[in-house]
Chain A
């Protein structure tokens, strides 16, 4: 049973960054901006928050108030991601540049910047920023004794970080904002038919800036969530999770709840790769070396198949990728 708890716990832990980042991508695309810069945004969010955690890793600050400082780190990640995403917003909204090219530039910029800054802070060749252990929430956080005995404790507390409950809250919040508020309706209209939105007095530029900014906030938090999940510290990369989140978003058809399902599905494949030998009912490929690549590849293959099958009734925002030009109304 404990292996089941491990698998489920780890799945949730890796689903969290995918969920957050895919929800971010959804906000940007629903406003009409294709955001392939998610990978770069994750890196910047993670970089900023890891540097923050490193700075507050002292007895009187982080160790004494772990939950508070982890929460602050999440805020730092959100702000950093949001600010970085404004670069994409500026190029694609004001300069009407090709959105995918702007995103590519940011994806190249982020890891390079992260390495250069990490070197500058930690010294030459020290490329990993380690995450303090107090960021993980255990019984010890609340004065108890840390232990992972028993099914429930192993399921929940082996890999529990503040990012997980925050992700749940953000999921509910995004679904509410997108479908139940005036702002959500306006944002969606800018992604479907910006000319019509403009004609009824909605400021398309402002909506798109907001959409990209929200995607930056969620992407930044997702970056931190990935780094704590990966467990080996921040190494100036997020291993393609930004791109995987893009696939999650498409697989989830640009809707919050299906995105939740898709992120769990994708995370499950990732985890199955590392646990495959201890799960009896899945194909073992015993004669194959480095078989984790099979499981790493599968989510992308599945996304391709889904993309082709659903292409006729895809819910992709109609106006995504097209710069809005007021004079062409």
Chain B
């Protein structure tokens, strides 16, 4: 009994339990919705959500393909969380990253790695603005990020619409509402597949998942093993105390947002340089950036945990795509939204568990 409690009492375990509870309740809500809207297909649909991702190598390749940008945007949101900032601007940074990557790849015919570096730089610039506004003018980073999401989106659309070489119709296609297919415009800008596409029998497979995992490990090392990471976290726990301890809190806020922006920008680069995705000019924000928020929350901002939560969110999205046409695939978005909402309850559950354990221990100490 004591051992069990000791295991539960570990903070990581409590977080994991909280996240699992959120996921299970979220999925059950999804099942209820399926049952409500179309009882005959409900159970089959639910099984599809849970099994499609592992059903075949192609589907699993799709899971990994979507997981890579999700992990990176999750890291972006998570890193900002650790510094006490809420980076709701990941979607804007993601868009700007995609923009820079595609311009370097198509307009300037650069290879893929230059595109990715450019994407990270673009995202970093988009993270810098909210950071500097917070540090110098104490403007709430949530508000600034929301403004910059839309500025980034409209600017990207405006620029693409005015760069004829970027659009698909310049390269032989008929549509002008999206960017060119990279396999036609510049093969060297496509992220290499290293034979993985043959292994998984899927065009979606490339090395991007390894880049994402590598970045997660890098963020983990920086946050856990370096002075810089310690300073970032200290600012997150208590800004005034860290300033008192001689840490330059303003510098850390800006740096944290810049790195978070770079990660989200990289995500945009990785997704759109895959060769299978084309940027479509629409007036709504890209969901990939917002989905970094549940990824970070489920992993309680732990970089290694984000690898798994990113895979999970991607997994149920692939499952959700297979729900059509019996159900709208947006049921998955409802499940994800419920999971974010429930993570608030998860915090409450975590608090209750730790309280229960410390109470038990006190009682035992008295005996």
B147 close to A290 (CB less than 8 A): no
Contact indicator per residue, chain A 240-256, by CB within 8 Å of chain B (1) or not (0): 10011011001000000
A247 to B143, CA, bound (A): 8
Residues of A within 8 A of B199 (CB): none
* Docked pose: A58 CA to B238 CA in angstroms: 61
Q: How far is the CB of A91 from chain B (nearest CB, A)?
A: 5
> B297: CB under 8 A from chain A?
yes
The verdict on A148 contacting chain B, using a C-beta distance below 8 Å, is: no
Identify which of A101, A125, A321 contacts B344 (C-beta below 8 A). Answer: A101
A303 in the interface (beta carbon within 8 A)? yes
A311 near B142 with CB under 8 A, answer: no
Contact A246 B146 (CB under 8 A): yes
Among B149, B155, B325, B333, the residue within 8 A (CB) of A108 is B333
Residues of A within 8 A of B158 (CB): 288, 290-291, 293-294, 297
Output the nearest chain B residue to A244 by Cβ-Cβ distance: B150
In the complex, the answer to whether B331 meets A124 with C-beta atoms within 8 Å is: no
The answer to whether A293 touches B157, judged by C-beta atoms less than 8 angstroms apart, is yes
B88 interface neighbour in A100, A106, A244, A312, Cβ under 8 Å = A100
Does chain B have a CB within 8 A of A86?
Answer: no
Of A115-123, A214-222, A274-282, the segment with at least 4 beta carbons within 8 Å of chain B is A115-123
The reply to whether the CB of B356 lies closer than 8 angstroms to some CB of chain A is no
Q: Is B348 an interface residue (CB 8 A)?
A: yes
Q: Is the CB of A109 within 8 A of B341?
A: yes
Contact of B88 with A300 in the complex, beta carbons under 8 Å = no
Q: Which residue of A lies closest to B143 (CB)?
A: A250
Cβ of B277 within 8 Å of any chain A Cβ, yes or no, is no
Across the interface, which residues of B come within 8 angstroms of A98, CB to CB?
86, 344
Q: In whole angstroms, how far apart are the Cα atoms of A288 and B155 in the complex? A: 13
Chain B residues, Cβ within 8 Å of A293? 154-155, 157-158, 161
- Against B, the Cβ 8 Å flags (1 = close, 0 = not) of A122-138 are 00110000000000000
Within B312-348, which residues are at the interface with A (CB < 8 Å)?
A: 325, 327-328, 330-334, 336-338, 340-341, 343-345, 347-348
Query: What's the least CB distance linking B335 to chain A, in Å?
Result: 9
Give the one of B293, B328, B336, B345 with max A CB within 10 A: B328
B37 within 8 A of A: yes
Residues of B within 8 A of A146 (CB): none
List, in ascending order, chain A residues with CB within 8 A of B147's CB. Answer: 247, 300-301, 303-304, 307
Q: Cβ of B203 < 8 Å from any Cβ of A?
A: no
Nearest B residue to A34 via CB reads B142
Q: Given A102-B341, A239-B284, A308-B133, A116 and B139 touching (CB < 8 A)?
A: no
Question: Is A97 touching B347 in the complex (CB atoms < 8 A)?
Answer: yes
Any A CB within 8 A of the CB of B151: yes
Instruction: Kindly supply a per-residue 1/0 record for chain B positions 121-138, scoring 1 wherever the CB is within 8 Å of any chain A CB and 0 otherwise.
Output: 000000001000100011
Q: Which residues of A contact B334 (CB under 8 A)?
A: 109, 112-113, 116
A36 to B142, CA, bound (A): 9
- Min Cβ gap B33→A in Å is 7
Is the Cβ of B86 less than 8 Å from the Cβ of A119?
A: no
Check B283 for interface membership: any CB of A closer than 8 A: yes
Q: Does A87 contact B (CB under 8 A)?
A: yes
A56 to chain B, nearest CB (A): 24
A18 CA to B20 CA, complexed, in Å: 39
B334 closest partner in A (C-beta): A112
| Chain A CB within 8 A of B162 CB | yes
Pick the residue among B133, B340, B341, B343 that contacts A307 (CB under 8 A).
B133
Q: Is the CB of B37 within 8 A of A120?
A: yes
User: Are A119 and B328 in contact, with the CB atoms below 8 A?
Assistant: yes
Return the contact of A237 from the options B37, B88, B161, B284 (Cβ within 8 A). B284
CA–CA, A250 and B86, complex, Å: 19
CB distance from A24 to the nearest CB of B (A): 16
**Are B330 and A297 touching (Cβ within 8 A)?**
no
Residues of B at under 8 Å CB distance from A?
Answer: 33, 37, 86, 88, 129, 133, 137-140, 142-144, 146-151, 154-155, 157-158, 161-162, 281, 283-285, 290, 293, 297, 325, 327-328, 330-334, 336-338, 340-341, 343-345, 347-348
| Nearest 9 CB-CB pairings of A with B | A97-B344, A112-B333, A109-B337, A290-B161, A105-B340, A311-B137, A108-B337, A293-B158, A105-B341
| CB pairs A–B below 8 angstroms (18 shown) | A36-B88, A101-B340, A108-B333, A111-B330, A112-B333, A112-B334, A113-B330, A116-B328, A116-B334, A119-B327, A239-B283, A240-B150, A240-B283, A296-B154, A300-B148, A300-B150, A301-B151, A307-B147
